[in-house]
Each structure stands twice: as C-alpha cells, then as structure tokens.
Amino acid sequence: MQYAAEGGGAAGFTPILMIALLFGVMYFMMIRPQQKRRREAEAMQSGLSAGDEVVTIGGLYGTVTGVEDDSVLLEIAPGVQTRYARPAIARVVTKAERPVESPVEESDSVKD
C-alpha cells in the first residue's frame, strides 16, 4: 500500500497537463484565426474610399461615394444613395483606380 501512495503525485499532474494542452490547441485552432480575420476586416473597412465597389453583409452591391467616421455612403443605383455602418461592408469587389504619382524628373535642358 505504501507504493500506491507514493505514485499518486504524478497522476495528479497529468490532468492539468491535458487541460493546458487543450487550451493551447483551442487557441491556435479557433481564437487566433478569428483575431486575424477581424484585423483584416478592420483594415479593409478603414481603407475604403470613394469609387470602391463593395458588397454589404446583406449582399447588396454598391459604389462608395462618401466616407465618414463611422458610416459609408453607397450608390446602389444611378441617383440612389444609402448610408451604411462601416462594419456592414463585407468585402471590396474592386478598388477605385487612384492616380499614380510619378516622380518629378529634373530636366537637363536648363543649364546656366
């Protein structure tokens, strides 16, 4: 009987190790990917600008005509504008073409 009492200490450590392992697996399989998706969605929503074609969470396609602090104006048909909260934008279909700034070239034709 004395041998069984001495070996009981190691058996108490195994369930704690299994619980810690379970939490580690849950973190890497569920929590971390969800945080990554949320960061990507926030970056997309903060990068909206006029001219972007977007899809709302409800599946409505529209073109961004104006951006405010917490809302976005969408043109869903010619002359029809609606206001949506930024988190209601699910994805950007096409980004508006922005003018590319070319570096200013110094001309060699002007010499003193």
Do the domain assignments include residue 110? Answer: no
Q: Which residues pair with 94 in a beta bridge?
A: 53
| pLDDT tens track for 6-59 | 555 567 788 899 999 999 999 999 999 999 999 999 999 888 989 999 999 999
Rounded Cα distance between 92 and 111, Å, is: 50
Do the domain assignments include residue 99? Answer: no
Do the domain assignments include residue 106? Answer: no
Domain containing 44: what range?
Answer: 2-94
Do the domain assignments include residue 103? Answer: no
pTM for the full model? 0.61
Do the domain assignments include residue 45? Answer: yes
Contact, 61 vs 53, CB < 8 A?
A: yes
Do the domain assignments include residue 108? Answer: no
Looking at the structure of the chain, the number of domains it has is: 1
| pLDDT tens track for 63-111 | 999 999 899 999 999 999 999 999 999 999 988 776 555 555 554 555 5
